[in-house]
Amino acid sequence: MNSPTASRTALVTGASSGIGAAVAAELVRRGYRVYGTSRDPESVTEPVPGVEYLALDLADEESVRACAAAAGDVDVLVNNAGESQSGPFEELPPEAVERLFRINVFGAVRLTQLVLPGMRARRYGRVVMVGSMLASFPLAYRSSYVASKAALKGFANALRREVSPYGVGVTTVEPGSINTGISERRTQYLREGSPFADEYRTMLEALNANEARGISAGTVARTIARAVEADRPRPFHAVGSNAPVVFALRRLFPRSVILRMVARKHGL
């Protein structure tokens, strides 16, 4: 008997490495036809077996449209691609913040808009927004990144009720500290002579150490796959960084206490 997922097509953005590559591999293993995206598919050094790569630059509207057209009818969309950014709020260049939102938010939103009509017409679809636990537990010197992930979750929360009558499930997955090497790819902004330099570097050292000790991308991928295959998808999943405990604490303690706890965890 054929797998019920054998006729399903998934599109996973940012599938050349990290969480995206792990999600793509997990969905292939479960029988999906999988498209993965990369800004330059020819440069993917370790392609995931069974994945067909499509070009996608989330900051470019035409690229987003071309990717959606190339993928065709998509049953599962995993909005994973994004940029990690850090720096003192005062010192973030406006053009860098705008680029971050184009990639992390507006590109993902536009791609979702383009695939939703087909999902709605077929009365089946799954959309997963890969966010960050920092959207729930904000951290100093990560303001632009925190805001972008919070915006993505806001879109998902509002969209969910609109599309659920048509068999489309929308889920946000918030990973905590993940060992994917993202610390080496994070864009950073710190002016020479910045009054924030010492505290910023303290935060960054703790952040990198936490990520080095974090859970694997495969663990996140399995959470995302379960969200995709649930008959009634949950609105939200958090994974890593002792998520069950920290979310329980957030319900028990005032927000000011939780924010101090987050700061202390990062040496602030």
Domains of the chain, residue spans: 9-265
Task: Give the CA count within 13 Å in the CB-facing half-sphere of 166.
Answer: 19
Range list of H helices, the chain:
18-29, 61-71, 94-101, 107-122, 143-163, 197-212, 217-229, 243-252, 255-265
pLDDT at 6: 65
Cα 175 from chain centroid (whole Å): 8
pLDDT at 86: 96
Query: What distance in Å separates the CA atoms of residue 139 and residue 220, rounded to the nearest whole number?
Result: 21
Contacts within 8 Å (CB) and 24+ apart, 205-212? 205/267, 206/265, 206/266, 206/267, 207/86, 207/139, 207/183, 207/266, 208/183, 210/177, 210/241, 210/265, 210/266, 211/177, 211/178, 211/179, 211/180, 211/182, 211/183, 212/179, 212/183
Burial class (CB in 10 A: 0-12, 13-18, 19+), 240: buried
Catalytic residues, by residue number, are 145
Euclidean distance between the first and the last CA atom of the chain, given in angstroms as a whole number: 56
pTM of the model: 0.94
Within 10 Å of residue 19's Cβ, how many Cβ atoms?
27
Strands 76-79 and 51-55: unpaired
Query: What distance in Å separates the CA atoms of residue 41 and residue 61, rounded to the nearest whole number?
Result: 18
Task: Kindly provide the b/e burial profile for residues 137-164, where b requires at least 16 CB atoms within 10 angstroms of the residue's own CB.
Answer: bbbbbbbbbbbbbbbbbebbeebbeebe
Regions of the chain with pLDDT less than 50: 1-2
Q: Which CATH superfamily is domain 9-265 in?
A: NAD(P)-binding Rossmann-like Domain (3.40.50.720)
Q: Are 164 and 202 in contact (CB under 8 A)?
A: no
pLDDT at 3: 57
Query: What distance in Å separates the CA atoms of residue 227 and residue 197, rounded to the nearest whole number?
Result: 40
Q: Which residues pair with 126 in a beta bridge?
A: 76, 169
pLDDT at 183: 62
Strands 187-188 and 168-175: unpaired
What DSSP character marks residue 47? P
Within 10 Å of residue 22's Cβ, how many Cβ atoms?
25
pLDDT at 243: 85
Amino acid at residue number 66 = A
Q: Which residues pair with 9 in a beta bridge?
A: 33
pLDDT at 80: 97
pLDDT at 242: 84
